[in-house]
Amino acid sequence: SPETSVPRYQPQTVAMPSGETQLDLVFHVSNFHHRRGGIWEVLQIGTTDQLAAMQVKQYFWDFFLLGSIFIMALYHCGLFALRREARSLMFFGIFCFLISIRLLSTEEIYIVQLLPNLSWSNVVRLEYLSLYFAVPVFARFLRSLFREEFHRYFMIFCDIFVGICVIIVLFFPVYYFSFTSPLYQIFMFFALLYGFLVLVRSTLHQRESALAMLFGYSIIFISVINDILNVNNVLHNGESVAVGLFFFILLQSFLLAGRYSRAIKMVEKQREALKLSNQRYINELHEKQKTLEEKRILQEKLTRSQKLEALGVLASTVAHDLNNILSAMVIYPEIVRLRVGKDADTRTALSRIKEAGLRASAIIQDLLTLARRSVMTLKPLNLNDVVTDYIGSPEHQVLKKERPDIDCFFLQEKKLVNILGSEIHLKKTLMNLIRNAAEAQENGGAIRITTHNLHADASAAKHLKIPEGQYAVLRIRDEGVGISAKDLPHIFEPFYSTKNLGKSGTGLGMSVVWGTMQDHHGFVKVESSPNKGSTFSLFFPATGEQPETTENWITEPFEFYRGNGETILIVDDLPEQRQMAQLIIKQLHYRPLIAKNGDSALQQIADNTVDLVLLDLVLSNSESGLTVFRKIQQLSPEIKIIMLTGSSDAKSVTNMQISGVQHYVFKPYTVEKLGAAIREALYPDAGNVAPGTE
């Protein structure tokens, strides 16, 4: 009865009475405390020697497996204590420890002999818990090795399911929690199948040791399936999971040994590499000492570069305001000059005022050019005119006074082809090259400037390493110290100089030359050798376009720019700028309207028929001229708009072009420039008509 029966596991060997010819075996078996009861194993009958030998073999095998697995548990846990980042060692050590407990609580149930006071229910709990905990621990072991192939959601599901089973085992009687075994066997089958798929994927992805792990895991998989079938009386060939686990653990030990062997080899290689690295470091110490001075020089160059950048930022910031101020110096003399008649002295004085304003504006442009912030407008021009103008410029006259021992000769091609270029940038390039040539001749000498045409056919283009085509060539030759072969490849690098920086320049001259040639789609070639002088040859692609007139003053009565009474709206936040533009508009026979901001401009357009708008790029009250431009375009797309700006830096021009601005004029503008821009905007099909002559 349930009250009198005592559940327990008691494997034992019983001696039969001797001298009997007949023996009746009667078993009294009851089961009120477990899902399954009765005699679980086949009874073995034999002589005392036979059974004793069989029992010794069983003890030897069981304790061999138990001892091996337990030692592996201690070994892996010890390795984890030394390498805390290798969590796979910890999980595998715990797994081996759980298998050791299960070996003690199954088959011969040795734990009863080791702990005779342990109750039967606790023995069963140890048997179940060792199995239930083994699955999630082994799953974590696999996931720590193959994280990318092992999905974390399966790990979560595994933890939840096993957690429920463990709670039932801990808090319910044996009879009830023994019913979790069939369900757990089904779960374990699918868990093993998932682990098999993980290892197959890892093998296909060529993960380290995945193939060997798959082989060992297959042994475990087969042995566990075999034991599940044995427990459910489908097979009767005995438990094999311990043997399968032993071979898997043995394989894992070989894999671990292989990893450490490879690690030792890697350490040896790294040690050899470290020796070589140390030797290289010792060899480089002397080189580093030599480079300290070079680093100091580079730091000085960086400081100069930062100052140059700051100069460019300053020039870009103040350009708009300064050009607004300079507009008065350029425009008012033109307007007054048209009204003073033929008084030569007055007209000359007005010319000097205007030229001073233009020179001041050119200085601002020079600062932007030096800082690489300027807009380069390419126009048809002739290199002979550029060289002639520069030779007569004040800059060149200063050089002649500084170096009277230098003679400068200019031999020009009479019918030199025209090019597309920026006159101001080309003059700066010419100035840099001539000054460089003068500095190369400390004891005096000659600088020869020549121009000529070049038709580069296939052979010449290949020799000069330039595209085929027609070129205008500008060549500057000196008789100085020349450039060494070591320095020649670096002369166009910023701040690179063989001279004493600060005494003879900033080291930017040649880099500006190179940048200017790039902007002109040209090429520069250098021929030089020590003590034999240097020759700089600049190749500019030819153009069929003709240069515009260089006349600065317009003529009366403005036949080329006079309008037909069209209405022009002037939008500027500065009263003096509106007044100057209004005077020019009236002088050109247009009808002016004025607005000081975007709102008043839109109101003027709504109240009047406006043909063209002169719109300042920068308005007050944080209002952008481009914003007003877009509003006007939305209100009246047919109205022509000319942007007026004192900022000639590349960023401002780029922003205007992106916004769709087609016409813009830089301040300070002349009457001629503004008149030509208005004529081009209102009559785009009329063609370019040169202004009259005085």
Six token digits for residue 412: 């020009």
pLDDT > 80? residue 395: no
* pLDDT at residue 141 is higher than 50: yes
Q: Which CATH number fits domain 383-543: 3.40.1020.10, 3.30.565.10, 3.40.50.300, 3.40.50.1980?
A: 3.30.565.10
- Token pair of 351 as six digits: 């010319």
Residue type, 636: S
Angle ∠(5,11,16) on CA atoms, nearest 5 = 95
For the cut 70, the answer to whether the pLDDT of residue 175 exceeds it is yes
- Of 629, 604, 634, residue with least CA distance to 616: 629
Of 99-108, 155-164, 191-200, the one with minimum mean pLDDT is 99-108
Using DSSP's 3-state secondary structure scheme, residue 36 falls into coil
| Per-residue CA distances from 602 to 245, 628, 634, 641, 662 (Å) | 88, 8, 11, 13, 20
Place 236 in a pLDDT band, splitting at 50, 70 and 90: low
84-112 average pLDDT score: 82
Percent of the chain with pLDDT strictly greater than 90? 13
* Distance in angstroms (rounded) separating the CA atoms of residues 210 and 255: 10
- Residue 251 tokens read as 């394989």
Tens of pLDDT, residues 555-605: 444 567 788 889 999 998 888 888 888 888 888 889 999 998 888 888 988
Check pLDDT > 90 for residue 476. Answer: yes
Nearest residue to 600 (alpha-carbon basis) of 622, 575, 579, 573 = 573
Confidence of residue 500 (pLDDT cuts 50, 70, 90): very low
Average pLDDT over the chain reads: 79
**439 Cβ partners below 8 Å, 6+ apart?**
480, 499, 504, 505
pLDDT at 488 over 90: no
Q: What is the dihedral of CA 324, 552, 450, 465, to 10 degrees?
A: 60
- Three-class SS of residue 420? strand
- Rounded to the nearest angstrom, the gap between the alpha carbon of residue 255 and the centroid of all alpha carbons in its chain is 40
Check residues 471 and 689 and name the one with the higher pLDDT.
Answer: 471
Q: What's the alpha-carbon Rg for the chain, to the nearest Å?
A: 49
Q: What is the pLDDT of residue 37?
A: 66
Three-point CA angle 515, 668, 623, nearest 5°:
95
pLDDT at 506: 47
Total H helices, total E strands in the chain? 20, 12
What does the pLDDT average to over 89-100?
87
CA 110 – CA 100 distance, rounded (Å): 11
pLDDT band at 2 (very low <50, low <70, confident <90, very high): low
What is the pTM (predicted TM-score) of this model?
Answer: 0.40
Per-residue model confidence (pLDDT) at position 508 = 56
Q: Please say whether the beta carbons of 400 and 428 come within 8 A.
A: no
450/409 Cα distance (integer angstroms): 8
Answer yes or no: are the C-beta atoms of 520 and 542 closer than 8 Å. Answer: no
Of residues 304 and 506, which shows the higher confidence score? 304
- At residue 692 the predicted structure's pLDDT band, cuts being 50, 70 and 90, is very low
| Overall average pLDDT of the 408-422 stretch | 91
pLDDT at 693 > cutoff 70: no
pLDDT band at 451 (very low <50, low <70, confident <90, very high): very high
CA distance 627 to 616: 11
- The residues near 135 (Cβ < 8 Å, ≥ 6 apart) are 158, 162, 187, 188, 191
pLDDT of residue 504 exceeding 70, the answer is no
Please state which architecture CATH assigns to domain 567-682: 3-Layer(aba) Sandwich (3.40)
Q: Which residue shows structure tokens 């998932």?
A: 194
**What is the C-alpha separation between 22 and 614, in angstroms, rounded?**
131
Q: What is the pLDDT of residue 320?
A: 60
Which of 358-362, 490-494, 607-611 holds the top average pLDDT? 607-611
Q: Is the pLDDT of residue 612 over 60?
A: yes
Q: Which pair of tokens denotes residue 614?
A: 């002169």
Domain locations in the chain as residue ranges:
48-239, 383-543, 567-682
pLDDT for residue 593: 92
What is the mean predicted confidence (pLDDT) over 115-123? 82
Percent over 70 (pLDDT), the chain: 80
Angle CA 343–347–351, to nearest 5: 170
Q: Express each pLDDT in 541-560 by its tens digit.
A: 999 888 865 444 444 445 67
Residue 137 binned pLDDT confidence (cut-offs 50, 70, 90) = very high
295-301-305 Cα angle (round to 5): 140
Do residues 611 and 650 touch, judged by C-beta distance below 8 A? no
Provide the pLDDT for residue 550: 46
